[in-house]
Amino acid sequence: MKNGTSKDKAIRVFRRHGGMLRTKQALGLRIHRRTLYKLRDTGRTAAVSRGFYRLAELPPLGNPDLVAACSAIPKGVICLVSALAFHGITTQVPHQVDLAIEQKVKRPRVAYPPIRVFWFSGGAFTKGVEKHILDGVPVRVYSPAKTVADCFKYRNKIGLDIALEALRLCRKEKKASVDELMKFGRICRVASIMRPYLEAML
């Protein structure tokens, strides 16, 4: 592509793919790396995260932190306080993105957004994952019931008050049944801790 038309052609390629491309995808679609950087430097695209670009003409992101975190770490799962906020079962305002990654995976290097990493293993990592599309980006988030169980498991790190509030709001908003909550309580090995609080709410 000649530079005079290369940027316009690249923009058309972006549009054909929903307005967002990873660097590897863009190169595979014959957008030169130089053109990709020029689009960014001239403000026609914006970096959502390292190596992931979206057209500046698109509407503003509704969930920029979650989208950026999951774009940078696609195998991660939104968890704990961030997942509570996503499901509307907390009064907390997250100041970072809580992200679960599989045990033995190295801590990812991400400049933005601030990410608090938790290492999960086995069923605690793989069970209860929901897939959502936010601003055109696939985002993995633990279900309400799984998130409540996780909060009890990590109560010493996030606070028992947050776990109890999440349990109360989860039941009040009918986000999960008692059976679902106890199922994930068993997976996370906190069923015996959750049970008395659940029984008190029945």
Q: Do 132 and 70 reside in the same domain of the chain?
A: yes
Q: Which domain holds residue 7?
A: 3-55
CA–CA distance from 18 to each of 59, 65, 127 (Å)?
Answer: 12, 19, 30
Q: Determine contact, residues 108/73, Cβ cutoff 8 Å.
A: yes
For the segment 86-127, what is each residue's pLDDT rounded down to a tens digit?
999 999 988 899 999 998 877 777 767 889 999 999 999 999
Q: Do 111 and 174 reside in the same domain of the chain?
A: yes
For the chain, what is the domain count? 2
Domain boundary among 16, 36, 55: 55
Average pLDDT over residues 151-170: 96
Q: Do 125 and 178 reside in the same domain of the chain?
A: yes
Q: 29 by DSSP, 3-state: which?
A: coil
Q: Do 69 and 45 reside in the same domain of the chain?
A: no
Q: Do 86 and 139 reside in the same domain of the chain?
A: yes
* Per-residue pLDDT band at 2 (split at 50, 70, 90): very low
- Which of the residue ranges 5-9, 47-51, 70-74, 87-91 would you say has the lowest mean pLDDT? 47-51
What is the strand order of the sheet 45-49 is part of? 20-22, 52-55, 45-49
Distance of alpha carbon 20 from alpha carbon 45, whole angstroms: 9
Q: Do 196 and 115 reside in the same domain of the chain?
A: yes
What is the strand order of the sheet 77-78 is part of? 115-120, 97-102, 77-78, 137-142, 129-134
Average pLDDT over residues 160-172: 96
Residue 20 has a pLDDT of: 77
pLDDT of 1 above 60: no
Average pLDDT over residues 129-151: 93
Q: 197 by DSSP, 3-state: which?
A: helix
Q: Do 46 and 119 reside in the same domain of the chain?
A: no
Q: DSSP E strands: which ranges in the chain?
A: 20-22, 45-49, 52-55, 77-78, 97-102, 115-120, 129-134, 137-142
Distance of alpha carbon 182 from alpha carbon 73, whole angstroms: 29
Residue 61 has a pLDDT of: 63
